[in-house]
A and B are shown apart, each in its own frame.
Chain A
Amino acid sequence: MYQDLLVIDADAHKIENPLVIRDYIEPQYRDRVGLIVDNLGDQRMRVIDFNPATGKNDLERLYPQPQGLGKGGFRNLHPETTLGAMFNQVRLEHMDREGVDIQVVYGTWNLSYSSILDKDMAIALCRAYNNYMAEDCRGYGNRIKPIGVLPMQDVNEAVKEMHRCVNELGMIGVAIAPNIAIPHPKAPDAFPEIRTCKTLSHPDFEPILQAAVDLNVSIGIHGGPGSYMVGGIADHMETFVLSHIFVQRNQQQMALARMVFDGVFERFPTLRVGFLEGGCGWLPDLAHAFHEHWEKRIRDFDPKTPYRPALMEFTKLMIQERGVHNNSNIISQAKNLFDLMWNKQHDPAQIDDSSLYEHYDLRHRDPMEYFGRGQIFTSFESDDPAPAYLPLAMGEMGKHLTCFSGDYGHWDGVLKDCVKSAADVADYDRDHLSLLLNGNALALYGDRLRQSMPEHLSTAALVGTRG
Chain B
Amino acid sequence: MSYFQEAKAHFVASHQNPINQALHHLTNALAIAAIVYLFYDWRITLVCLVLTQIFALGGHAFFEKNEPAFVKYPGITILASLSWSFEHWFGLRQLWHYFRHKASA
Contact = CB atoms under 8 A, between A and B. Distances in A.
Interface of A: 311-316, 319-320, 324, 327-331, 334-335
Interface stretch (B9-17, B31-39, B41-49, B50-58): B9-17
20 contacts: A312-B13, A312-B14, A313-B13, A314-B13, A315-B12, A316-B10, A316-B12, A316-B13, A316-B14, A319-B9, A320-B1, A320-B6, A320-B9, A324-B9, A327-B84, A328-B93, A328-B94, A331-B13, A331-B16, A334-B13
Nearest to A313: B13
A314 to B, nearest CB: 8
B2 to A, nearest CB: 11
Nearest to A325: B87
B57 to A, nearest CB: 17
B105 to A, nearest CB: 13
A320 B9 CA distance: 6
Interface string B91-105: 001100100000000
A311 B8 CA distance: 16
A232 B55 CA distance: 66
A312 B66 contact: yes
Nearest to B64: A312
A319 B13 contact: yes
Contacts of A313: 13
Contacts of B88: 328
A411 B61 CA distance: 79
Contacts of A316: 9-10, 12-14
B5 A315 contact: no
Nearest to A324: B8
Contacts of B5: 320, 324
Given A312-B16, A320-B6, A320-B9, 17 more contacts: A312-B66, A313-B13, A316-B9, A319-B9, A319-B12, A319-B13, A320-B1, A320-B5, A324-B5, A324-B8, A324-B87, A327-B12, A327-B87, A328-B88, A328-B93, A331-B13, A334-B13
A334 B14 CA distance: 13
B71 to A, nearest CB: 12
A328 B99 CA distance: 13
Q: Which 4 pairs across A and B sit closest by C-beta, in order of nearness?
A: A316-B13, A315-B13, A319-B9, A320-B9
B97 A328 contact: yes
A65 to B, nearest CB: 61
B16 A311 contact: yes
A311 B9 CA distance: 13
B18 to A, nearest CB: 10
A256 B46 CA distance: 77
A115 to B, nearest CB: 60
B104 to A, nearest CB: 14
B25 to A, nearest CB: 12
A335 B13 contact: no
Given A320-B5, A328-B93, A335 B16 contact: yes
Contacts of A320: 1, 5-6, 9
B14 A329 contact: no
Contacts of A311: 16
Interface string B67-105: 000000000000000001001100001100100000000
Contacts of B84: 327
A311 B94 CA distance: 20
A38 B52 CA distance: 94
A329 B88 CA distance: 12
A182 B87 CA distance: 67
B16 A329 contact: no
Contacts of B9: 316, 319-320, 324
Contacts of A312: 13-14, 16, 66
A314 B6 CA distance: 13
Contacts of B13: 312-316, 319, 331, 334
Contacts of B10: 316
B62 to A, nearest CB: 17
Contacts of A314: 13
Contacts of A331: 12-13, 16
A314 B14 CA distance: 11
A329 B87 CA distance: 13
A315 B6 contact: no
A319 B8 CA distance: 9
Nearest to A310: B66
Contacts of B97: 328-329
Contacts of B16: 311-312, 315, 331, 335
Nearest to B80: A324
Contacts of B6: 320
Nearest to A319: B9
A319 B5 CA distance: 10
A234 B66 CA distance: 57
A335 B14 CA distance: 12
A312 B13 CA distance: 5
A321 to B, nearest CB: 9
A334 B9 CA distance: 13
Contacts of B94: 328
